[in-house]
């Protein structure tokens, strides 16, 4: 996925059509999964094999269509742009991953209380008062509902385990 994000910058790779990449990914993934049907009983394998074969076939169609379009339209062909802002996307993906890892390691309430203002701040909401208020209402509200009312456990805090 990484080379995709660089696509708009260099003129040579401008022709790198995301549909083409998608087609290749689909064919490869479905093909790899198709190999795993080998050991299955016949009736068990029937639907997976047919679905994956259809996926491979459709992936090939997708690739072929991209190639044909590219040939016909040449430089005039403008593939769909995936990222409005690739750096932002990577930042968001990283913060989601960090958040989930944090919840698993540190506990739900601590991580959430840190994540909400931090993420909102990083991505453009800069009102300190608003951030703190929203954080308090949200994390506090969840704590009241889950801990006090329901007695339902979300991943426990590190210091309470």
Partner 1 sequence: MYGNLIDALPAVLSLGNILAVVVGVIAGICVGALPGLSATMAISVLIPFTFGMDPLVALGMMAGIYNGAMYGGSIPAVLLRIPGTPAAVATSFDGYPMAQQGRGGYALQVAVVSSALGGIASALVLMLLAPPLAKVTLLFGPTEIFWVAVFGMSAIVFLLGGDIIKGLISAAFGVFVSLIGVDTITGYERYTFGHLELLDGINIVVLLVGLYALPPAIGLLEEVRDFDTKNTGRLNTTSIWKAIPGMLKYWKTWLRSSVIGVFVGILPGAGGSMAAFLSYNEARRASKNPDDWGKGEPEGVAASETSNNADTAAALIPALTLGIPGTAVAAVMLGGLLIHGLQPGPMLFRDNPEIVFGFMWQFLFAAILLIFLGGALATNSFAQVLRLPRPLLGAIIIALVFIGVYSINNRMFDVYLMLGFGLIGYFMDKLKFPLPPVVLGLILGGFAEQNLRLALRIGGGDWSILASSPTAKVLIAMVLLVIVSPLVSRRLRARKASKVAG
CB of residue 10 to partner 1, shortest distance in Å: 20
The reply on whether position 82 binds partner 1 by CB under 8 A is yes
Asked if residue 155 binds partner 1 (CB under 8 A), the reply is yes
Nearer to partner 1, 70 or 142 (CB): 142
| DSSP string across the chain | -HHHHHTTTSSGGGG--HHHHHHHHHHHHHHHHHHTTTTS-HHHHHHHHHHHHHHHHHHHHHHHHHHHHHHHHGGG--PPP--S-HHHHHHHHHHHHHHHHHHHHH-HHHHHHHHHHHHHHHTT---HHHHHHHHHHHHHHHHIIIIIII-PPPS--GGG-
66 in contact with partner 1 (CB under 8 A): no
- Look up residue 160 and give its two tokens: 């309470």
Q: How far is the CB of 40 from partner 1 (least distance, A)?
A: 6
153 near partner 1 (CB under 8 A):
yes
Give residues with Cβ within 8 angstroms of 16, minimum separation 6: 3, 4, 7, 79
Q: Which of residues 99-128 bind partner 1 (CB under 8 A)?
A: 99-100, 103-104, 108, 112, 115-117, 119-125, 127
C-alpha–C-alpha distance, residues 79 and 137, integer Å: 44
Candidate residues 80, 148, 160, 161; the one interacting with partner 1 per rule CB under 8 A: 80
Residues at the contact surface with partner 1, assessed by CB under 8 A: 1, 18-19, 22, 26, 33, 36, 40-41, 43-44, 47-48, 51-52, 54-55, 58-59, 61-62, 65, 80, 82-85, 88-89, 92-93, 96-97, 99-100, 103-104, 108, 112, 115-117, 119-125, 127, 130-131, 134, 138, 142, 146, 149-155
């Amino acid at each position: 996925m990484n080379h995709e994000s660089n696509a708009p910058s260099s003129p040579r790779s401008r022709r790198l059509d995301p549909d083409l990449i998608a087609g290749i990914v689909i064919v490869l993934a479905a093909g790899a999964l198709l190999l795993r049907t080998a050991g299955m009983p016949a009736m068990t394998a029937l639907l997976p094999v047919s679905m994956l074969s259809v996926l491979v076939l459709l992936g090939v169609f997708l690739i072929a269509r991209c190639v044909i379009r590219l040939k016909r339209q040449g430089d005039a062909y403008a593939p769909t742009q995936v990222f409005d802002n690739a750096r932002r996307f990577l930042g968001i993906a990283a913060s989601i991953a960090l958040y989930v890892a944090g919840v698993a390691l540190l506990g739900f309430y601590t991580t959430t209380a840190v994540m909400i203002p931090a993420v909102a701040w990083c991505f453009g909401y800069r009102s300190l008062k608003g951030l703190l208020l929203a954080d308090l209402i949200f994390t506090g509200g969840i704590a009241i509902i889950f801990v006090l009312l329901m007695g339902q456990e979300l991943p426990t805090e590190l210091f309470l385990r």
